[in-house]
């Protein structure tokens, strides 16, 4: 089993990281949305918020091997080759998703730091990055929530584009990122 992409498909490492990160994204967004089902200050709500924080940091940890894998191995060709405008749109969408996977965990970490709240990470408590500043925490929270909402659009656009390429265009865009059939 090779850990390098080939000309026709992504490596098992890249494929595994892609789908693992999708699951982490589902956990990040699901936990923060499900918290609304519970009263403020309740144990289930606080647990879901902790899971949101921890999974967000996990996303940040996982994005770096994903980026390394992307830049140390050729990107499999899309066959037939899409128009240049589609290629540009795909590159911009992927760039936006990578920015999301880096910026959101950082802003969340800064938000917790500025709010003077603990920063949990699977049994550890991470140190604050900045001093407590409630006004700054409010500002970071607004940006974090705005960009988080934009993340729904980015992830949705990525999903719709994959389905469009697979079912309408019928190229190999999506099959390059699926596990190989034995």
Dihedral sign computed on CA atoms, order 142, 143, 145, 150:
positive
In sequence order, what DSSP letters do the residues of 49-110 get, joined into one string?
A: HHHHHHHHHHHHHHHHHHHHHHHSSPPPPPSSPPPHHHHHHHHHHHHHHHHHHHHHHHHHHH
Per-chain mean pLDDT for the chain = 96
Q: Does domain 12-177 have CATH number 1.10.3470?
A: no
Q: Which 8-state DSSP code applies to residue 176?
A: G
Q: Write out the two tokens for 59.
A: 């996303």
Q: Where are the domains of the chain?
A: 12-177
The pLDDT tens digits of the residues spanning 134-179 come to 999 999 999 999 999 999 999 999 999 999 999 999 999 999 999 9
The pTM (predicted TM-score) of the whole model is 0.94
pLDDT tens sequence across 102-125:
999 999 999 999 999 999 999 999
Q: What is the model's pLDDT at position 181?
A: 84
């Amino acid at each position: 089993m090779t850990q390098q992409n080939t000309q026709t498909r992504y490596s098992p490492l890249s494929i595994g990281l892609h789908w693992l990160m999708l699951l982490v994204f589902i956990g990040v967004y699901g936990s923060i949305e499900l918290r609304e089902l519970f009263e403020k200050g309740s144990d289930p709500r606080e647990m879901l918020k902790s899971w949101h924080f921890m999974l967000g940091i996990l996303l940040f940890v996982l994005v770096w091997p994903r980026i390394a894998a992307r830049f140390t191995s050729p990107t499999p060709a899309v066959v037939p080759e899409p128009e240049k405008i589609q290629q540009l749109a795909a590159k911009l969408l992927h760039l936006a998703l990578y920015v999301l996977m880096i910026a959101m965990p950082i802003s969340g970490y800064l938000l917790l730091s500025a709010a003077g709240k603990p920063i949990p990470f699977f049994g550890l408590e991470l140190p604050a990055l900045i001093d407590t500043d409630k006004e700054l925490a409010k500002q970071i929270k607004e940006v974090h929530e705005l960009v988080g909402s934009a993340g729904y659009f980015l992830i949705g656009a990525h999903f719709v584009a994959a389905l469009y390429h697979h079912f309408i265009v019928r190229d190999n865009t999506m099959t390059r990122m699926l596990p190989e059939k034995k």
